[in-house]
Every structure is written in C-alpha cells, then in structure tokens.
Structure 1
C-alpha cells in the first residue's frame, strides 16, 4: 500500500514499540463513532425543530418536517458513493489520508449548515444548499470507515468477540446523549426567536470541533507502524468494489438484512418520536429531549449487556431473539406516544433497552461474514446498505404512516425490519454460522 510523505512522518512520530492491545483499538472506535453519531443526531434534531420553519416556511409544519426527513435520507443514499470514492483514495494514498479527507469533508459540510441562510433570504437555494451539504455528510461518512471495528473483531479472543463487537455501537447512544442535552440547554436558555435565529447553529459548530478532536484520536491509532502491520497481517486492505461484489455479493445482501430490525428501531426511538411529540402533543420540547437523553443512557447499559449475552449464547441467537421482541414491540408500543409523559417514558426506555440489546451486536454481524482479504471494503459496503435499507427512510415513512393512519401504522415499518432480520437469519445458514 502506498502512502504520502505526511502519513509516513506521522507513523514515525507515533512509533513507540508498544504492544498492540484491543483496549487501544476500542478507545479509537468509541471516539470515532461518537463523533459521527453526534453529527448524525444534530442534523436529525434540527430536521424536526429548525428546518421546517427555517428552510420550508412555505409548507405546513407536518409537510415541512416530511421535507426535512426527505433531505435527511439523502446522506444514506450518498454514503455508498462515498465508500466507493474513498476506497480508491485509501488504495492510492493510504488510510490516514483517506480518514483525514473524509473527516474534514464531514466537518466542513456540517459547519456549512451552521451558516445556511433561510428560505426567506435566498428562497429555494436554501433547500438546494441544505440538500447539498447533507449529501456531503453522507459521502464523508462513507469515507470515514477506518476498519478499526473489523480489526477489533479479529484481534480479540474468540470467546470475547461478542463483548468487543458491542464497543463500536456505544457511539450511537453517547452521541445522542450529547446532542440531546446540547439542544435541551439551548432551548431552555434562549428565547424561541433567538434559538430559531442563531442558537440552533451552535451545535453544528460543536460538531466540527468534535470531528477535529476525533480525527487526531483516530489517526493516533491508524497511522502507527504497529497498527499498520496488524492491518496488513489481518489482510484488512481496500479491495475493489467489483471484486467484493463478485465474490461476496450474497453475503453483503445477507449482512445488510441481518441487522434490519435494529436499524429500523434505531430511528423509531430517536428521530420519529421527537417529531410526533413536537407536531401532535403539547409537551415541552425540553422535557422530551431530557427523556430521550435518559433513555439513551439505558441504551448504553443494554449495549454492554448484549456483549456478555452474545458471548454466552451466540450473536445469531441474540439478533434473532431481539428481532422477535422488536416485532412484538411494534404491535403496541407506538400508541404509547399518545399516553402522556408516562407513556412516552415507557416507550423510550423499553425501546432503547431493546435497541441496545440488538444494536449492540450489529457490528459483529457485519464484520464476521467475509473473508479477511475482502473484509475491510465488504464491511463498509454492507454497513452502508444496512443503514440505507433499515434506517435511511424510517423517520419519513413512520411519520407519513402515523400522520395518515394513526400511530399503530408506524409499527408496520418496524415490523418489516424485524421480519427482514428473521428471514435473513433463517434462510442464510452460511451467514448464520458466521454470526455465531
């Protein structure tokens, strides 16, 4: 693998001869995923609280929110494109250059949203720019795949793989906690006109700063000679997309559908309920953001528990049992959002408990089904497709169904994800054995 002079200098700078430890990889994974999910949730919360009035004031609140969710989905569509582009950069210039470019694109796109003029200032250009910046985030997320999750899965004792598989997933609830509390503080501290004028922009600046910190933390790992050697020993190198699809196309499809229940539930308990509460209840936004942050903390605990549970009974069984539980949850839980504060708390806490148990093992499912020499690129593509199919359109579909047919209809989308996971685990025995 070739690399630039800068990357070679960075490796020399960090060369200290220390032994490779899974704990070091885990720290890098958590920092990287938390920064990415913080960006993710800052946009998601703004899509409910800000963009309908700032970018789509010509539409009613429901329609404006649906438009915002449509733009929200663009990042998931653009993400596989980013993976293809940055795989070429990785192959030619090295992992450090790829990661640096991707995270600066992510941070730049996020910071650009903070300067976005509203519709009343530049008309439809505001919509176009928001869509452009959102696609920039998606392309960057495709390029931010650093292979550390796969490296972590390969570099731990076999009887502890479930435990370490849950480590990358901790970034999701941690990112949500920080994003929710930051918006909670700004809404509580500022008059509504000030928040809608300039206060909402602050989290996007914070996201850029966090990306810079995460960049150096991750480069500290991926450019060192010790880790570079380990990547090469484990054959975690970029492969061409055509080769990956030709040799592991069926596994990519199975891998994309195996975590579908988890990814569908992901947005059903994070983005969708906030939109419903804002549009259809009289509850204060700050109160629900606080509930969401507390429920995300439950998700952190559940993710940790999933690691111990997977090592005891197997990741495939954890995913299967959780998919069945999510299917049951989809039949009654959405109506709790009309049950006042108590109903919302039950929905959120129970939902995040299920999400943590299932989502906690998605990383292991995605990284363990491919030959080592294809794993680096195949895992990235599989993750991209899983997010696209399972989560990309979840807020848009759930809100559309719920607003047209009532809250029970929102569970239909969640049920489809649960059935997709069960079907993938049942019909693809090869994938099932590898997930064990």
Structure 2
C-alpha cells in the first residue's frame, strides 16, 4: 500500500480544490498483474464499491475493482461527510399511501439501522475517519415548515424510535449563530466525518483482505458470456461470474442499466479559510451539523478540526470560473450567515449525486448485474449499509434482506433530458422558496 501527496493552487477543476484532500494523500493500489477470471468484478471505487469489495474478499471471493479515475474520485471524496438516518424523501405519509403502514415502517427503520451499522463498523474495525456525533440542527425557514418538520419527527419517533428535540426560537442561539430561522429540530444522534479518510480506510481494508483494486482503468464494455460476464479494459479482457455496478452519479452509457435509472445532480461545496475556533463556535456553538427546510436548501458544518466552515448544496454553476462560483456561493450563504464573503472561501469544488425517480436508494439485480446506489444526496451511511446487504446476498449469507428487495429500480423517464430538467427544477424550486419566504414575513 502506498499513498501519493497532492499539492497545488486551488482551482475549481483540480483535485487540489477539494478541501478534503488537504493533508490526506491519495490511496494508490498495489500494482498486480490481472488474472483471467474473478468471482466478482466491481465497477466504481467509491464507498459502495470499496465496501462491497472488502466484504466479499473477507468471504474468500476473488474480487476485482475497476475505477476509471482515482480511488474515491466521485462523491465519496467530495461530499459533506454528514451522517444520519437519511429518511425517505416522501416521508411517513407519502410512503404509507404508496406501500402501506408496515412496509413504510420497515423502509424507515433501515435508515435508523444504517446509522447504527456504520457506528459499529467504524468502532469494530478501528476506522479513523474523524467521526464526531455532535448532532444536527435543522432550521425551519417558516412557521409552516417548523410545524411540518415536528409533525414528521413525531411520526418517525412513534414508528421507528427517532430521537429528536424541538428547538424553540428562544433556544436557537444555543445551536446556531444564524438568525434565518423561526425554530428548528435537533437530531442528537447525527454527526460528521472526514470523507477522504473514510475512502482510504475502505480501500486499505479491501486490498488487505485480498481484493485487487485498479485505478485509471475503465470498464469499456461489459458483455454477458454464458453464466458470467466478460469485461473489456484498454489493456486487457477478463471474466467474472458476477458484476456489481457502483458508479452511481458518475454512470454513463457504458453501464446503461444504472445510467438509465438515475439522474446526476451537480452540487457545489466550499470550505472557508481558517476562521479560528471562536468564529466557528459563533456559527455553531455546539459544533452541530446544519441543515434547513426548503426545496433548495443549504447544508453546512464545522470542519473536523473546528477551524473552518463548510457549505454545500445546489449553490453555483459548476462550469463557472472559480471567482464567479465564490460569489454565487457566498450570496446564497449570506441568507444564513450574512458576514460570509467570497474572499472567505478558500476551497471550492463540485460533484454529482444520484437521484432516482422514486426518491429511494436501490439494491437490485437487473439483467444479471447488481446495481447499488441512487442515494439521493444521503450516501454516506446508506452506501455502507447497502454494501453489507449486497455482500450477504452475493456470498449467500443470512441477513441480506432489505425492504427494498421487492421494489423495482425504475427507469428514469426521458433520461437524456433529465439533467436539464433537474437544472430547470432547481431554478423553479428556488423561486418557490423565495416566494414562500416573502409570504411568511
């Protein structure tokens, strides 16, 4: 196992623009000759792919992981590192209408189970990823939003035992330095971690267990061959009995089974220059993770060392020049923290998250391929939990069942137009949020 250090000027199209790379070297796999055959080939070396490879290798299967770019290149090393139950977007009422009460409870319970699984995984395997369960405050931008959030929390507490605390306007200053909210809810079991450290930990353990990891190695073609598959790469052709597609928001036409079922959403993330612990504490007195109500929302958090603040969401145009993105992000953030200036943003980077048409994550077998992903912006805990379930399915071990097993992974309607539709919807939802905000004042 070797690592390579990254350094350079912060630019929006460079790996050095990602704050999570600061002081954390890239994982570089051991260079080994390819075998002719593998039990399982995994496409994509993010959280899902690496965790699946680690688990299968521990069961004695031969595993090949193919990554077109560097290890963890996509959302797994670009996300906000926030962990929590990540409940289904439709909520208890919407899910009950669709699936009934018992199915809804099972779906929501997996979210609670996922967080518990990750905590146990990190502790049992001594994974050092700066996990800090400092809680998450979700601010309500209107009284109507607060009523809706509290009502949903009450339903979730009754159904799956969700822990939460209602935060009144008079108590908000204890949890956030923002004056943008009329109240909120605290989720005390939530927290944050360091995404890049988690990537490296998973890759290190997968390789140590026997998985072969190849970066800068795209799977150019995957073809069914008898009971297995043939995978063509620029330098070789290998076969595998089973194939896992873990490309998520970075899928393309080479993996149509996944690509046709998700829509990638561009997300911007920015980390401030070192602000000092006093200013960070002023913004987040108890070092909570931060979220908010609204259709287009901003999340934020202190950095793991508590010296910077990190903001994320659909805040800027990813292809815009760096200074323009800084201005766009700062303008959006000033609604919450008016004193944040474009010059305060030292790192700006972009990534893609994967949404599904039914707002649900999926673990399905389609055309003989295993598909894992569609985390809808909440992939840290979901990816590891689903990876464990997939490992159990492939290795034919007990405990691989999920409430999603009998829910088909729907094809995304008008897939080619989906990214454009997502951008239009984001603009429209942002306008609706502004309209609702003005009406509530």
**How does the TM-score come out when normalised to structure 1?**
0.26
Bigger relative contact order (CA 8 A; separation at least 6): 1
**How does the TM-score come out when normalised to structure 2?**
0.26
Q: Considering fraction of residues, name the structure with more helix.
A: 1
